[in-house]
Amino acid sequence: MKLNGFSAPESAGHRRGRAALATLTLVAGFTMASSEAALAAHFSNGTTCDKGYAAYQAAGAPLPAPEAELRLVFHQNAFRDIGGQPWTDTGTAVNIYARGKPAPGQQISDFCRWFDDQAKPSTQHYDGGGPFAPGIDGWAENGIGHTYTQPGEYELFAHAIDTQEPQKAWSDRVKRLIYVNGRPLASFTYSPTKPKPGQEITFTSTSTDHPAEMRPLKSYAWDLDGDGQYDDGTQPVVKRTYTSDAPVTVRLQVRDDKDGRPLQPAERVIALTDTAPTTSFTYSPTSPKPEQAVTFTSSSTDADGDRIVRWEWDLNGDGIYNEGSAASASYAFPRSGLFPVSLKVTDERGSTSAISRQTVSVVDPPAAAATVVPPPATSAIVPSRSVGTRSTSTTARALSARVGLRSSLTRVGARFRSLTVATIRGATVKVRCKGSGCKTRAQTLRSSGRTLKLTRFQRSYKAGAVIEVLVTKSGSVGRYVRITVRKGKAPLRRDLCLKSGRASRC
């Protein structure tokens, strides 16, 4: 007997009577089929469907059957049709409806179905619990849901039974194959892993097909804006830039070459907030002198654990961060006073810190008082009425003078940006220049009590050039400053006292 294009066994009794027609609309795929022997061994626990099947198997004598048509069909939305074969995905519940029209005097007591993917024999059949009353069109109907959890090709056996006494009847048994597609597993990564607003993010699918199949993936559908619509990309790699700092939920759906949908879409929440680094720094020496090199060292940190990749120093207080681009920087202040120093840093995600400021106090070293030792006292022999010794001693005061220098390093030496002398009114200031770069060899000025700006000497010098500043005034110990230009280092400065035209330690 041909049943909807598939063969079912036909007994002699069935041929003599009007055999019931059983129809299954099922599918084909790859094989995990059970055997007839396994089915026969299963129906042995005494239930109604078991007895009907056992009688069917043992039919050697004519056996009556319901003289009516029997159909077992799937609900129209249970399976999809691809290439002329309906199939389903793992995890999808399919509803299998049995419809039968019993002959007069007969009824359909049970619709018996057997699924070979069930784990326990006791659950591998279904007793419909009838009888099922026909509707106005004469058809009785019963449905059962079933979910396949693993991909493969499965057998489905079914028949209908009339359990009324004295003469029981059953339909022919039919068998069809059901194809179940393994669902792919959706997943993806994104880079950078700690994005910030305004930064482009690359999303990359790492999805795979079901492990039992591993077929190629056919399509990708992205929801990048979190609106629940998968209309933001169809490639395995997509990019997106977010301007808001609000977190966004990104989802991905994939299908394999059989159009299987994932068990669930891949979903990840992208956090776009970023904590800016905290700026701090130290410096040494903590009480520098004028023209003494001071080393500044960043001690900045980032609460997110991000690397700090850029340092910007303002060491001369002009508001421009161009005196250093590394974690440490060096600077020599030209004169005594209070000088602001600022630092700002940027982390690897582009977040810039608030500015950290400190004030560096630069102090002139104390000037030692110079003492002029008078020559030894002389004595003379005088008449007896006038005998005695007379001696004198004088102490010269150190001249108040301050020489200020502001410079920057060049490739071959240094550039003097400012050279000043502040001293008392009436003091004489003499400047001498020796070596490469000297345009003016010497200049002598008299102080009016205001700071003198030695503009002739504000220029670039090569290493080895020497600038001497001599500040003198009658009756006072003068000042002598010697500045030597060096390559790759701040100019070397030496302050001495000037006594009787000779420079010496104060």
Could you read off the pLDDT of 240-282 as tens digits, one per residue?
999 887 889 999 999 988 777 777 899 999 988 777 899 999 9
Do residue 177 and residue 196 come from a single domain?
Answer: no
Does the CA dihedral 421-427-428-432 come out positive or negative?
A: negative
How far apart, in whole angstroms, are the C-alpha atoms of residue 442 and residue 445? 10
On whether residue 349 sits in a domain, the answer given is: yes
> At which residue do the structure tokens 């056992």 appear?
54
* Same-domain status, 96 and 158: yes
Are residues 155 and 293 both part of a single domain?
no
Q: Return the pLDDT at 474.
A: 84
Distance, CA of 110 to CA of 142 (rounded, Å): 9
Is residue 204 located within the same domain as residue 79?
Answer: no
pLDDT band of residue 20 (cuts 50, 70, 90) is: very low
Percentage of the chain with pLDDT > 70?
70
Query: Pick the residue with more confidence: 506 or 26?
Result: 506
497 touches 478 (CB < 8 A): yes
Same domain, 464 and 320: no
Q: Is residue 48 a part of any domain in this protein?
A: yes
Of 184, 186, 206, 185, which Cα lies nearest the Cα of 259? 184
Residues 295 and 443 placed together within one structural domain of the fold:
no
- pLDDT of 459 > 60? The answer is yes
Residue 357: what pLDDT? Answer: 92
Please say if the pLDDT value at position 54 is more than 80: no
pLDDT tier at 327 (50, 70, 90 boundaries)?
A: very high
Both structure tokens of 213: 């199949």
Q: Which of 46-60, 193-207, 307-321, 411-425 has the lowest mean pLDDT?
A: 46-60
- Domain span holding position 447: 397-504
Which stretch of 92-106, 194-208, 378-392 has the lowest confidence by average pLDDT? 378-392
pLDDT for the residue 98: 67
Is 373 a domain residue? no
pLDDT at 366 over 90: no
Instruction: Look up the CATH number of the domain holding residue 409.
Output: 2.20.130
At residue 202, does pLDDT exceed 90? Answer: yes
Residues 242 and 347 grouped into a single domain: no
For residue 25, pLDDT over 60 is answered with no
How far is Cα of residue 497 from the mean position of the Cα atoms in its chain? 63
Same domain, 199 and 151: no
Least confident range of 18-22, 96-100, 106-110? 18-22
Statement to judge: residues 41 and 140 lie in one domain: yes
What is the model's pLDDT at position 171? 67
Q: In terms of domains, do 324 and 469 share one?
A: no
First to last CA, the chain: 127
Residue 348 to residue 196: CA distance in whole angstroms: 11
Residue that finishes a domain, picked among 270, 301, 319: 270
Residue 377 in any domain: the answer is no
pLDDT over threshold 80, residue 93? no
Mean predicted lDDT score pLDDT of the chain: 75
Residue 75 has pLDDT above 50, yes or no: no
CATH number at residue 21: 2.60.40.10
Return the residue matching tokens 């330690």: 505
**Do 365 and 495 contact (CB within 8 A), yes or no?**
yes
Q: How confident is the model at residue 155 (pLDDT cuts 50, 70, 90)?
A: confident
Gyration radius of the chain's alpha carbons: 52
Model confidence at 499: pLDDT above 90: no
d(CA 380, CA 386): 10
Domain assignment present for 435: yes
Q: Among 181, 214, 243, where does a domain finish?
A: 181
In a domain, 392, yes or no: no
Residue 294 to residue 319: CA distance in whole angstroms:
19
Q: What is the pLDDT of residues 209-248, one digit of tens each?
A: 888 888 889 999 999 999 999 999 999 999 999 988 788 9
Whether the predicted pLDDT of 144 surpasses 80: no
Domain assignment present for residue 389? The answer is no
The phi-psi region of residue 358 (left if phi > 0; otherwise alpha if psi is between -120 and 50; otherwise beta) is: beta
Query: Is 444 part of any domain?
Result: yes
From the list 416, 417, 421, the residue with the least C-alpha distance to 431 is: 421
Lowest mean pLDDT segment, chosen from 137-141, 310-314, 433-437: 137-141
Q: Is the pLDDT of residue 72 over 60?
A: no
Long-range contacts of 116-122 (CB under 8 A, 24+ apart): 116/32, 116/33, 116/34, 116/38, 116/39, 116/154, 116/155, 116/156, 117/32, 117/148, 117/149, 117/150, 117/152, 117/154, 121/42, 121/45, 122/45
Measured distance CA(184)–CA(206) in Å, rounded:
11
**Total structural domains within the chain:** 4
Q: State whether 407 and 264 are in the same domain.
A: no
* Distance (Å, whole) CA 225 – CA 156: 44
State whether 223 and 346 are in the same domain: no
Task: Place 369 in a pLDDT band, splitting at 50, 70 and 90.
Answer: very low
